[in-house]
Chain A
Amino acid sequence: MNLPAPSRVPLNALPRMGAGVVASVDWHALTEPEARRLRELGLDEGVEVELLRPSGLMGGPVACRIGRMIVALRRHVAGAIHVAPTAG
């Protein structure tokens, strides 16, 4: 049985300072070292994330909060992280 899926957005599509909870990660979109380092930086389903600085027009990296840590990620990595935005 599927409940109406809560809307999920890629991390880099959150509004600036928008927060959410990681719903799923598309690990296959990442290289093996990328996936490992991302896990090592604490990324996991159920962890709270917040987009601090979106990627910008030039497609540069994003800065986000993962749990208690601020982390810089390339845009395609942020795009593989699917977030259920928290209201507010």
Chain B
Amino acid sequence: MNPAPLVALVGNPNAGKSALFNALTGARQKVGNYPGVTVERHAGRLALADGRPVELLDLPGTYSLDPSSPDEAVTRDVLLGKQAGERLPDAIVVVVDAANLDNHLRFTLQLIALGLPMVVALNMFDLAERDGLVLDPEALERELGVPVVPTVAVRRRGLDALKERLAEVISPGARTLREGHGVPHDITVLQRRARQIALAATVSETAVRRWTHRIDAVALHPVAGPVLLFGLMFVMFQAVFAWSEAPIGWIEGLMAWLGEQAGALIPAGWLHSLVVDGVIAGVGAVVVFLPQILILFAFILTLEASGYMVRAAFLMDRLMASVGLSGRAFIPLLSSFACAVPGIMATRTIADDKDRLTTILIAPLMTCSARWPVYTMVIGAFFPNRQVLPFVGLQGLVAFGLLITGILGALAAALILRRTVTRGATSGFMMEMPKYQWPQPRDLLLGLAQRAEVFLKRAGSIILVTTIVLWALLSFPKAPDGQSQVEYSIAGRIGSAIEVVVAPIGFNRDISLALLPAMSAREVAVAAIGTVYAIDDPEGDAGQETIREKLQSRWSLATALAFLVWFVFAPQCISTIAVTRRETNGWKWPAFMVGYLFALAYAGAGITYWTAVALGLG
């Protein structure tokens, strides 16, 4: 049997390829209102009107067939059939922004010259209308000589017509590739032709009020712009604390109830301990932070969907340039507030190698969502939840301080790296700024649901497994009467060895026990401490309240601060290390990253501890 025809979605960055891909296949690829959202190929399936199945590819956006960054190279390779393990597409759907035809048609002309069967999706038709443009798709079709279908990917408009036209152009053996002979690479010639065609396809244009310019007058203002950016970050961190209190309480209640039920149901013994002390006290201690993670993601997803990301990059460019990077690198870094793994993948949009490498190396310093459970556990225990100013809570302020510490650390690291191991030419900053859009509520909710799923899956897999292993290592061998089970156990002995190294920076036994398992994921530190305390105190119930009280009684403020600073810097995340290995093709750079970050963490935590002790907080 022949494989299903392969159809690739191609076009300029931010044309709506992924939105169209999702609409056509029911997939949930990431969509965002800035160039460079998609950085690798994704495949999906769709059925044409006549029932024929088609394999659809979503590709990174690019401006031409001459790539300038690794993500763009993927698109070229797929289109020219040079991608390893990938067949040549049988047809392409060129996605163009109807409100920006002058520019998007240039790449279309280049693609037409490739000779593959194709359909043009005249996407964002609604935005063209909003801009006062009246377009004539039929005129465009005549000028280009290929089928043109108006679409609005986010409202699922034009999909049926698109599938119909696609069915017409896909016929076996119809494809010919002319790369090397007929494909024009002279951008200027193509651009001029594109402008003529755009003009011919435009029926009329009425000037309208452009919201984008008005918003930019503030968002890019030399003074108001940075204030707004700083304010957004600040509000985000305040909101994560302020809005999450009640829902966290509910989940805590649920976990306590689960602990009681399970405790009553399972007879005393090792299974009882595994479920109550290991799974519920450990994993439960992490799951309660779901509301915070969702609030954080709601902010990040809104920023990504609105078009603000490139404005933030614009505002940061001057500062980034002073440490040898560019504003472009700020976008992966901002994504790293969610998680460093997609952040590191997003560096594929950076053209210069050394620039990209530096960005990868500093991405783990951004306050990712996995740090929130750790920060909240410790901040919640040591800093009262009170207002220091109207609308400014102390806890959010401390978390914001940790964010700033991470960013300053990242800038300093970049400055040094760019003068030593990643020295190279300074890269430029040249980026298209998308029009602002209202985030699509549906996309936002889907995105949040996806994040909740990822978070719970993590809790149910990596965090659960590490916690169970830790529970086993903490539970055996059984301590003789009168001795502490935790200290007598295998884990306790490993912990004692680690404690020798970290005692100088104020870390106690509990922390030493948590550090090693937390290499799998930062949240495990919380689960580990929950489990340690549950095993230490078989009478206690498995609630956050008790962890908080225990922290207060066993840790000094100096230790708590040192622990927080440790987690600002330490590369406690196996996935980050793995993705760094993949993106840099080897172990050299991940090893370097782990080394320098641990050194920073040790120094940072030490300085914090010694200073705090000197100030009498020990």
Contacts and interface: CB of A to CB of B under 8 A. Distances in A.
Interface of A: 31, 33-34, 36-42, 44, 52-53, 56-61, 63, 67-74, 77
B25 interface: no
B423 to A, nearest CB: 17
17 contacts: A33-B68, A36-B66, A38-B430, A40-B63, A52-B213, A53-B222, A56-B222, A58-B318, A60-B318, A61-B429, A63-B216, A63-B433, A68-B101, A69-B103, A73-B429, A74-B321, A77-B430
Contacts of A70: 212, 216, 432-433, 435
Contact of A52 (B100, B216, B315, B321): B216
B479 interface: no
A42 B187 CA distance: 9
Given A42-B103, A53-B216, A53-B220, A73 B318 contact: no
B102 interface: yes
A32 to B, nearest CB: 10
Contacts of B64: 40
A30 to B, nearest CB: 9
A72 B429 contact: yes
Contact of B188 (A44, A61, A73): A44
A34 B310 CA distance: 18
B430 A68 contact: no
Contacts of B191: 39, 42, 44
B282 to A, nearest CB: 47
A72 B102 contact: no
A61 B212 CA distance: 18
A37 B68 contact: yes
A-B pairs, 8 with minimum CB distance: A60-B318, A40-B63, A70-B433, A39-B187, A53-B220, A56-B222, A42-B103, A61-B317
Given A41-B63, A44-B188, A61-B317, A68 B103 contact: yes
Interface in B303-355: 310, 313-315, 317-318, 321, 327, 351
A60 B103 contact: no
Nearest to B326: A74
Contact of A71 (B66, B106, B430): B430
Interface in B186-242: 187-188, 191-192, 195, 212-213, 216, 220-222
Contact of B433 (A39, A56, A60, A72): A72
B202 to A, nearest CB: 11
Contacts of B254: none
Given A41-B432, A72-B431, A61 B216 contact: no
At the interface, is chain A mostly helix, strand, loop or mixed? mixed
Contacts of B221: 53
Contact of B428 (A40, A56, A77): A77
Contacts of B103: 41-42, 67-69
B503 to A, nearest CB: 45
Q: Considering residues A36, A40, A44, which has the most beta carbons from chain B within 10 angstroms of its beta carbon?
A: A40
Contacts of B106: 40, 42
A71 B64 CA distance: 17
Nearest to B102: A67
B430 A73 contact: yes
B99 interface: yes
A51 B435 CA distance: 16
A34 B428 contact: yes
A60 B188 CA distance: 28
A52 B103 CA distance: 19
Contacts of A37: 63, 68, 428, 430
B68 A52 contact: no
A33 B106 CA distance: 18
A31 B66 CA distance: 16
Given A40-B63, A56-B222, A74-B430, A68 B318 contact: no
Given A36-B66, A63-B216, A71 B192 contact: no
A72 B318 contact: no
Contacts of B101: 68
B429 A74 contact: yes
Q: Considering residues B216, B430, B432, which has the most beta carbons from chain A within 10 angstroms of its beta carbon?
A: B430
Contacts of A53: 216, 220-222
B100 to A, nearest CB: 5
Contacts of A72: 310, 313-314, 317, 327, 429-433
A1 B313 CA distance: 47
Contact of A31 (B99, B220, B428): B428
B433 A59 contact: no
Contacts of B313: 72
A47 B434 CA distance: 19
Contacts of A58: 318
A5 B29 CA distance: 53
Nearest to A41: B432
Contacts of B66: 36
Given A52-B213, A69-B100, 14 more contacts: A37-B68, A37-B428, A39-B187, A40-B64, A42-B106, A52-B216, A52-B220, A53-B216, A53-B220, A58-B318, A68-B101, A70-B212, A73-B430, A77-B430
A70 B327 CA distance: 16
Nearest to B318: A60
Interface string B461-487: 000000000000000000000000000
Nearest to A50: B213
Contacts of B195: 67
B102 A61 contact: no
A83 B102 CA distance: 20
Nearest to A52: B216
A36 B106 CA distance: 14
Q: Considering residues B103, B212, B315, B428, which has the most beta carbons from chain A within 10 angstroms of its beta carbon?
A: B428
Contacts of A63: 216, 220, 314, 433
Contacts of B327: 61, 72
B486 to A, nearest CB: 55
Contacts of B187: 36, 39-40
B351 A33 contact: yes
A55 B569 CA distance: 34
Contacts of A56: 222
Contacts of B429: 61, 72-74
Given A44-B191, A61-B317, A68 B212 contact: no
Contacts of A38: 430
A70 B433 CA distance: 5
